[in-house]
Chain A
Amino acid sequence: MVRYKSRYLLCELCVSDQSSLQLLDERAVFTAVKGAVSWAHGDYGAALCSVSFAVKYLNAHTGVVFLRCRKSHYRLLWSALPFITSVESRGQRVPCFFNCLHVGGTIRTCQKFLIRYNTQQLLRMLRHCHSEAERLEVRKAVLSCSVKSLGKEEEEEDEDGCGDEEEWGES
Chain B
Amino acid sequence: MWHADNMSEPASYERRVFKNTSVYHYMKIYLILDSEDKMLNAAHFKQMIIAALRDLYGEIGAAFPFDVLKFEEDTLTAVLRVYNSGLVKLWSALTLLGSYHSEPCAVRVAQVSPFLLALSGNSRELELD
Contact = CB atoms under 8 A, between A and B. Distances in A.
A complexed with B: yes
Interface of A: 37-46, 79-80
Contacts, number: 31
B60 A43 contact: no
Interface residues of B, number: 9
Contacts of A44: 56-58, 61
B72 interface: no
Query: DSSP majority for the A interface?
Result: helix
A80 B56 CA distance: 15
B59 A40 contact: yes
A40 B60 CA distance: 5
Nearest to A42: B58
B55 interface: yes
B46 interface: no
B62 interface: yes
B54 interface: yes
A19 to B, nearest CB: 33
27 contacts: A37-B58, A38-B58, A39-B58, A39-B59, A40-B58, A40-B59, A40-B60, A40-B61, A41-B57, A41-B58, A41-B60, A41-B61, A42-B54, A42-B55, A42-B56, A42-B58, A42-B61, A42-B62, A43-B55, A43-B56, A44-B57, A44-B58, A44-B61, A45-B57, A45-B58, A45-B61, A46-B58
A45 to B, nearest CB: 6
A44 B59 CA distance: 12
B7 to A, nearest CB: 48
B66 to A, nearest CB: 16
A35 to B, nearest CB: 11
Nearest to B63: A40
Contacts of B60: 40-41, 79-80
A42 B54 CA distance: 7
A40 B61 CA distance: 7
